[in-house]
Structure 1
Amino acid sequence: MSFDGMFTHAMVNELNQNLSGGRISKIQQPFANELILTIRSNRKNRQLLLSAHPSYARVQITDQPFANPAKPSTFVMSLRKYITSAIVQDFKQLNNDRVVSIDLSAKNELGDIHDYILTIEIMARHSNIFLINKETGKIVDLIKRVSPENNSFRGLLPGDDYKLPPAQNKINPFSTNNENLKGLSAGDIRQKYEGIGLDTSAELEQYIASGKTLDDFMDAYQNGLHPNTATSNDKHKLGFFPVAFVNTTTKANTYTNLSELLDNYYVDKARLDRIEQQTKSITHRLDIILKKDKSKVKKLNKQLNQTDVMAKYNLYGELLTTYMSKIERGSSSITLTNYYNNEDVTIKLNPEYSPSLNAQSYYKKYRKLQNSIPHIKEQLEITTNEVNYLESVLASLEYVDIEDVDGIVEELIDSGYIKKKRKNAPKKRKKKLGENFQSSTGVEIIVGKNNLENDQLTMKLSQKNHYWFHVKDIPGSHVILKTSEPDEQSITEAATIAAYYSKARDSSKVPVDYVQIKNIRKPNGAKPGFVIFEGQKTILVDPDRQLVAGLKENK
């Protein structure tokens, strides 16, 4: 199911159980559409994520790490002014809609207590987060300000009266009396009841097919949640009913609560979106260069194919020189016998040229093509290497974590693809080299997160008898298994990590090459991350997120 009203209802219950009575200790806005409130509750700090993202809007507790931007946004400054140290009184849902309100009680500078409401509206591209003064009903601030010209229904600026989004005039399923829905289709259910999404209505339709009532469904929903992600018809879906209930389910993962479910469900989607926000201008520039390079490779290959006629031009020159006495001046063509195979060959001539000039013309074409081949091959190699390099950089942005983006930017600066920031920019903290894991049998594994790290790990820091892993013929990270005598389990796990940190992350049966580092070398002048090797073996593995996470925890 999607994050519909039913899911929102269950999430509000979970938030009340974990965060009600807690105190807000920290407020961050790590990305344009996302707010993080650190809430101290039951002697534990928990991060509450409020997202107004157009595609991934949601509210949940999250365990994902978030960096605090150096400069807080205007919205964060307003929140810090009014609700820092505020007490979380309650989480409420508007009927069964995807609108969640958090009642807050905060003291001002004079010690007076004021009540506020932090409201998140989950409405796709219209999603928004509001801080509302409960006493006046006015908007203190909001994460997305909208001018009156773009929204005539209600004011969406600080100081406007807060007005609820347009009502759907549907029935709240939590306020009905033992209603029998037998005979209603999934579409009818969605039209009649508020907050029931496409997947939920399909599950409800199956549930009531046997004559059960809506109340039966609501009781099962209230008392038997089973958070899961189920793959059904090649689609990855959220769920909170037992997986066996969905007949088309082929694969499922279960979780202890809804927040853990969302962290796992959105981990790649949100990560890619955040990376895209940070690197949009860079990837745009790389895409332009890559497009030009691919076009150049195509042209160079075409030029190289044209050199196939080189031998023919040389033959024509030879035949015209040999049979020059037979050529009549002013002829446009002549048919001569090829003395290499005794076949007749028709050769075009320039009527304005003498027989000798015609022969020299073909020799000239032959020499021009002959001289161009080394240059074409050289340019083809250079451009192909650049294409491979740029594809590897763009691919790495699909599987690295948000904190690894700085390393990729540094790599592009060193390689001359983007300009270095001005000298007075704040210095970035030096980060550890690579990502560390440990196999089930205790062998250390390390992964390069960009091409500069790949070079460092493979060519400088690893021992010659250690083992190197990389997906076969696909952009990906270098993975080092730090042992000279690896066991089969460690080999499989290192290969799984290599497949996971590659462009083949979402594939299955991924071929991974592995070889001792002594059999690897880096050609002079090669792009970062590029190596050649021999004597490798290949293993097929599935990129398993849970296995990789477990190996990381081992470390």
Structure 2
Amino acid sequence: MPMDGLTVGFAARELNRILQGGRVDKITQPERDAVILVIRAGSENHRLLLCASPNNARCHLTKGSFSNPLEPPALCMLMRKQLTGARVTGIRQVEGDRVIHVDLDAVNEMGDHVLRRLVLEIMGRHSNLMLLDENGRMLEAARHVSPDMSRVRQVQPGMTYLPPPSQGKLNPEDLTGEALYERLRALEPGRFSRSIADHITGLSRPAAEELAMRVLAPGDTWPEDLRTACDRLADLIHRLPDMADPRVLFNPDGTAEEVFAFPYFTRDLSAQKAYPTLSEAMEICFGSRDAKDRLNQKSASMLRTLKTHVERCEKKLAMQEEELASAERMEEYRMMGEAINANLYQLKKGMTEAVLPDWFSASGGEITVPLDIRLTPSQNAQKYFKKYQKARSARETAAVQKAKTLEELDYLEGMLLDLDKCTGESELEEIRQELVRTGYMKRVTNRRQQRQLPQSQPYRFRSADGIEILVGKNAAQNDRLTASAKPDEMWLHAKDMPGSHVIIRAEGEIPRDTLMQAAILAAWYSKGQRSSMVPIDYTRKKYVKKPSGAAPGKVIYTHHKTAYITAEEDDVRNIPVIS
């Protein structure tokens, strides 16, 4: 979820408290739409990230490492000239909206103190970062917007800055219950949360649902006493600055999903982790998203390749099934040939068909056999025997080809599943190498792309009994995971479908709860993720063998039992992740 006005307000207050009075010592621009200001404040160096990314626009202090371009962009060069040595005089949110002003006291070339303002607009694909002078004139921006791009609002150096168009909503900073009541009283009763999101600046749907839940009676969607509810909501919004308690909501696989400035009771509290500052929480959440976005960009070509080959396999499979269906007539051809041979004395050349006894029918019926008038009866029989042999050969060939196609389709779907589970560049590179090995992708010759990456690691979970459970993320990991397991450790895998190898790091008797949780993970991280009653085979690792020359992740196993599992997301979320 992108930052809403509520979160922006908390971020601005936190940053102002830490950075006000600090001096700008260094400026870098790692991305086209992101700058980092190193600010010395309170005897410490702080790195302020201002990011106008369309997907992940935000502002917070960062400890992350960023690669900078060899040539600084124009915005960075101008900011260094204008802002190096400047003092932060204030950081504030503008009228409860997703806009932040960073005001700085700078010294110009004449030695005079002048106002410089950084404006960060967090507006999805319209997000932008601009540097203004003391008169509100734009000196530079991360994104230029020409009249061809927008008739409403242009962004060009030299133009006077205009704030985003007003939506006519109420400013939460000076909100009163009376003003809100006047807006809502004429509405038909509906969802209170949706109505306040439509009439108060900066409230996202999740934030509005949380605030509505706190002022409404349990189970209500619209207040019985609207005026009282509006008064309570206005009071709650004014008390929010004192409720700061940053949280990050995590997914079952341990990835960060959303950041909240305070606990959201409308979301799973057990999946929310507290952090000392909003900056730390935002770095965890948005850093995870940035990494995911980078992975998505780098995996796009692999995804296209795999989907293309899956489509080809599906078309090939349909053709092979048609061939098999047509080959089913082969027995009919043989019976017609046998019937002709058994009745040669009754037939003559020039006949168009013959009704003959059906020797293969249990009821002793008759069979109508079409004949070629140009051929003798014996030649007609041979024609049917040839058609029989051809159909039989076609069936055998099509059956072999169908088996190969199904095997290839199974492999490709497994690779798609691995790609979906990918959480790091190391895993992505292992998948790429596997696709190169099998000929689906060309080997990379660019040296920069051949840099050594650390070996990827599996998911690690802790069962209810305190036992570690490991889950492979791709075929290469599955091989390493199973090979490194001890002989008496338990191995699990979804039956007859692509999925992760799962290892329970314990020998001897496995507690039932641990076995069940491992089976849930095996079902969740398989092609049957959202299916019911997914068969999960489990056996000791000593009964799992990898055939010589088998593809990565491919094994055979014996002495197994099968559990049927329906894995719900909440079940997976309740299994603690070991970081």
Q: What residue number does 1:287 align with?
A: 307
Out of 376, 392, 403, the position equivalent to 1:354 is 376
Out of 512, 520, 539, the position equivalent to 2:544 is 520
Q: What residue number does 2:428 align with?
A: 405
The residue type equivalent to 1:332 in the other structure is T
Q: Give deviations 1:286-308, integer Å, cap 9, x for gaps.
A: 21121111111121122223332
Q: Flag the 1:374–1:50 CA change in 2: closer, same or farther, 3 A.
A: farther
Find the aligned partners of 1:308 and 1:347 in 2 and give their Cα distance.
17
Q: What residue number does 2:201 align with?
A: 194
- Per-residue deviation, 1:88: 5.2
- Per-residue deviation, 1:431: 0.8
Check whether the contact 1:439–1:494 (CA below 8 A) recurs between aligned residues: no
The residue type equivalent to 1:467 in the other structure is M
Find the aligned partners of 1:107 and 1:159 in 2 and give their Cα distance.
20
Q: What residue number does 2:365 align with?
A: 343
Per mean C-alpha deviation after superposition, the further-off stretch among 95-104 and 260-269 is 260-269
Q: Give deviations 1:297-334, integer Å, cap 9, x for gaps.
A: 12112222333222222212111222122233233322
> Is the partner of 2:178 in helix, strand or coil?
coil
Q: What residue number does 1:481 align with?
A: 504
- Per-residue deviation, 1:95: 0.9
Check whether the contact 1:512–1:538 (CA below 8 A) recurs between aligned residues: yes
Q: Flag the 1:323–1:508 CA change in 2: closer, same or farther, 3 A.
A: closer
Gaps of 5+ in 2: 217-222, 251-256
Aligned pair 1:308/2:344, yes or no? no
Check whether the contact 2:489–2:540 (CA below 8 A) recurs between aligned residues: yes
Q: Flag the 1:424–1:54 CA change in 2: closer, same or farther, 3 A.
A: closer
> Is the partner of 1:335 in helix, strand or coil?
strand
Check whether the contact 1:228–1:238 (CA below 8 A) recurs between aligned residues: yes
Q: Flag the 1:469–1:413 CA change in 2: closer, same or farther, 3 A.
A: same
Per mean C-alpha deviation after superposition, the further-off stretch among 356-365 and 539-548 is 539-548
Find the aligned partners of 1:504 and 1:35 in 2 and give their Cα distance.
43
Find the aligned partners of 1:445 and 1:28 in 2 and give their Cα distance.
42
Q: Flag the 1:366–1:425 CA change in 2: closer, same or farther, 3 A.
A: same
Check whether the contact 2:493–2:501 (CA below 8 A) recurs between aligned residues: yes
Aligned pair 1:533/2:557, yes or no? yes
- Per-residue deviation, 1:215: 5.1
Q: What residue number does 2:239 align with?
A: 223
Aligned pair 1:392/2:391, yes or no? no
Q: Give deviations 1:390-410, integer Å, cap 9, x for gaps.
A: 222222222221333222222
Per mean C-alpha deviation after superposition, the further-off stretch among 343-352 and 258-267 is 258-267
Aligned pair 1:382/2:404, yes or no? yes
Q: What residue number does 1:419 align with?
A: 442
Q: What residue number does 1:97 align with?
A: 97
- Per-residue deviation, 1:74: 3.1
Q: Flag the 1:123–1:331 CA change in 2: closer, same or farther, 3 A.
A: farther
Per mean C-alpha deviation after superposition, the further-off stretch among 337-346 and 460-469 is 460-469
Per mean C-alpha deviation after superposition, the further-off stretch among 528-537 and 72-81 is 72-81
1:113-124 matched pairs, under 5 angstroms:
116-124=116-124
Q: What residue number does 2:173 align with?
A: 174
The residue type equivalent to 2:331 in the other structure is A
Between Structure 1 and Structure 2, how many residues are aligned? 542
Provide the TM-score with structure 2 as the length reference: 0.76
1:37-52 matched pairs, under 5 angstroms:
50-52=50-52
- Per-residue deviation, 1:167: 2.7
Aligned pair 1:256/2:274, yes or no? yes
The residue type equivalent to 1:453 in the other structure is Q
Q: Flag the 1:28–1:178 CA change in 2: closer, same or farther, 3 A.
A: same
The residue type equivalent to 2:413 in the other structure is E
Check whether the contact 1:229–1:252 (CA below 8 A) recurs between aligned residues: no
The residue type equivalent to 1:421 in the other structure is V
Find the aligned partners of 1:401 and 1:106 in 2 and give their Cα distance.
43
> Is the partner of 1:118 in helix, strand or coil?
strand
Per mean C-alpha deviation after superposition, the further-off stretch among 407-416 and 112-121 is 112-121
Find the aligned partners of 2:116 and 2:358 in 1 and give their Cα distance.
96
Find the aligned partners of 1:513 and 1:59 in 2 and give their Cα distance.
48
Aligned pair 1:319/2:319, yes or no? no
Check whether the contact 1:230–1:243 (CA below 8 A) recurs between aligned residues: no
1:124-135 matched pairs, under 5 angstroms:
124-130=124-130, 132-135=131-134
Q: Flag the 1:413–1:376 CA change in 2: closer, same or farther, 3 A.
A: same
Check whether the contact 1:434–1:446 (CA below 8 A) recurs between aligned residues: no
Q: What residue number does 1:435 align with?
A: 458
Q: Flag the 1:424–1:473 CA change in 2: closer, same or farther, 3 A.
A: same
> Is the partner of 2:419 in helix, strand or coil?
helix
1:13-28 matched pairs, under 5 angstroms:
13-17=13-17, 20=20
Find the aligned partners of 1:123 and 1:227 in 2 and give their Cα distance.
22
Provide the TM-score with structure 1 as the length reference: 0.79
Check whether the contact 2:32–2:73 (CA below 8 A) recurs between aligned residues: no
Structure 1 vs Structure 2: percent identity of aligned residues?
Answer: 30
Find the aligned partners of 2:115 and 2:424 in 1 and give their Cα distance.
36
Q: Flag the 1:419–1:116 CA change in 2: closer, same or farther, 3 A.
A: farther
The residue type equivalent to 1:194 in the other structure is T
1:441-456 matched pairs, under 5 angstroms:
445-456=469-480
Out of 460, 477, 481, the position equivalent to 1:457 is 481
Find the aligned partners of 1:90 and 1:503 in 2 and give their Cα distance.
52
- Per-residue deviation, 1:184: 4.8
The residue type equivalent to 2:491 in the other structure is W
- Per-residue deviation, 1:419: 1.6
Find the aligned partners of 2:515 and 2:291 in 1 and give their Cα distance.
28
Find the aligned partners of 2:147 and 2:345 in 1 and give their Cα distance.
91
Q: What residue number does 1:466 align with?
A: 489
Q: Flag the 1:311–1:275 CA change in 2: closer, same or farther, 3 A.
A: same
Find the aligned partners of 1:391 and 1:144 in 2 and give their Cα distance.
40
Check whether the contact 2:467–2:504 (CA below 8 A) recurs between aligned residues: yes
Gaps of 5+ in 1: none
Find the aligned partners of 2:371 and 2:42 in 1 and give their Cα distance.
95
Check whether the contact 1:470–1:513 (CA below 8 A) recurs between aligned residues: yes
Q: What residue number does 1:10 align with?
A: 10
Q: Flag the 1:171–1:498 CA change in 2: closer, same or farther, 3 A.
A: same
Out of 344, 348, 366, the position equivalent to 2:388 is 366
Find the aligned partners of 1:471 and 1:44 in 2 and give their Cα distance.
52
Find the aligned partners of 2:537 and 2:486 in 1 and give their Cα distance.
18
1:153-168 matched pairs, under 5 angstroms:
153-157=152-156, 160-168=159-167
Aligned pair 1:151/2:150, yes or no? yes
Q: What residue number does 2:254 align with?
A: none
Find the aligned partners of 2:531 and 2:279 in 1 and give their Cα distance.
26
